[in-house]
């Protein structure tokens, strides 16, 4: 079993929809959680960075962490065609130089 | 602007040849990382370095080598011993303390 599980998709939604992207994990030591957006043939771009349980909002993006269920989510409101990309979740036990473990990514397509 | 520069963007080599991928950062980050990305497998850690003149193997270090002679630079050599070198290679860096990874835009290596 992988430490981090992420549905690869693809996920297709109409423009303006609310998108929900999710990851589950098995390592209870994970404390820091990240979401990255990756366009084709580009490097991952950091979207959200959160610590422990709770919600964090930044513009149209909301990151949610439920440590009791070992489940994290990224919500995208008012989705745009420019949001079409692969979304990677990532997590690490604590800060500093601890190893970061990635999900395999979910491919999202927002249809105009 | 601060960032991570990887070069070249595309690289083609014949089987049996060593090849070196460049990674330079001007973010003043102490830690640098090399990941390999293959379809459906997520990001896998090759090598990482926390300080100059020191580096550690990641999960898939066989067939790769690195050096860290300067804080800003962390080149990766893909040797002829790497059995399946064709992949997308990503360099990342991270500050001290709790902080996320920041990525370059990658090098696509094709070996035939």
Contact B105, A43 (CB under 8 A): yes
**Whether A40 contacts chain B with CB within 8 A:** no
- Mean pLDDT, rounded, for A78-85: 98
Mean residue pLDDT of chain A comes to 93
What confidence tens digit (pLDDT) does each residue in A9-45 have? 899 999 999 999 999 999 999 999 999 999 999 999 9
Q: Which residue of B has its CA nearest to A49?
A: B100
Q: Which residues of B touch A103 (CB under 8 A)?
A: 42
pLDDT of res. A95: 58
- A54-58/A4-6 β-pairing: unpaired
pLDDT of res. A81: 97
Q: List all residues 6 or more positions away from B38 whose beta carbon is below 8 Å from its beta carbon.
A: B44, B87, B88
More confidently predicted of A96 and A61: A61
pLDDT of res. B44: 94
Write the residue in B6, B88, B97 that is nearest to A96 by C-beta: B97
**Whether A104 contacts chain B with CB within 8 A:** yes
- Mean pLDDT for each consecutive 10-residue tract of chain B (112 residues)? 90 93 96 92 92 94 97 96 94 86 96 92
In the block, tokens 């601060």 appear at: B2
């Amino acid at each position: 079993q992988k430490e981090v599980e992420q549905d690869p998709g693809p996920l297709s939604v109409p423009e303006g929809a609310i998108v929900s992207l999710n990851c589950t994990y098995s390592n209870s030591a994970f404390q820091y959680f990240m979401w990255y957006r990756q366009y084709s043939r580009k490097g991952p771009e950091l979207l959200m960075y959160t610590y422990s349980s709770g919600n964090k909002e930044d513009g149209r993006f909301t990151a949610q962490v439920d440590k009791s269920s070992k489940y994290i989510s990224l919500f995208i409101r008012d989705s745009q065609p420019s949001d079409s990309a692969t979304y990677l979740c990532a997590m690490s036990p604590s800060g500093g130089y601890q190893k970061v473990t990635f999900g395999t990514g979910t491919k999202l397509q927002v249809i105009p | 602007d601060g960032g991570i520069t990887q070069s070249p963007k595309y690289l083609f080599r014949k089987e049996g040849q060593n090849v070196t991928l460049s990674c330079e950062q001007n973010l003043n980050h102490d830690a640098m990382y090399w990941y390999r990305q293959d379809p459906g497998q997520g990001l896998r850690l090759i090598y990482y370095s926390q300080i100059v003149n020191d580096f550690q193997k990641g999960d898939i270090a066989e067939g790769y080598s690195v050096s860290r002679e300067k804080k800003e630079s962390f080149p990766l050599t893909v040797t002829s011993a790497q059995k399946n070198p064709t992949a997308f290679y990503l360099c990342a860096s991270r500050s001290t303390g709790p902080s996320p990874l920041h990525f370059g835009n990658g090098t696509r290596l094709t070996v035939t």
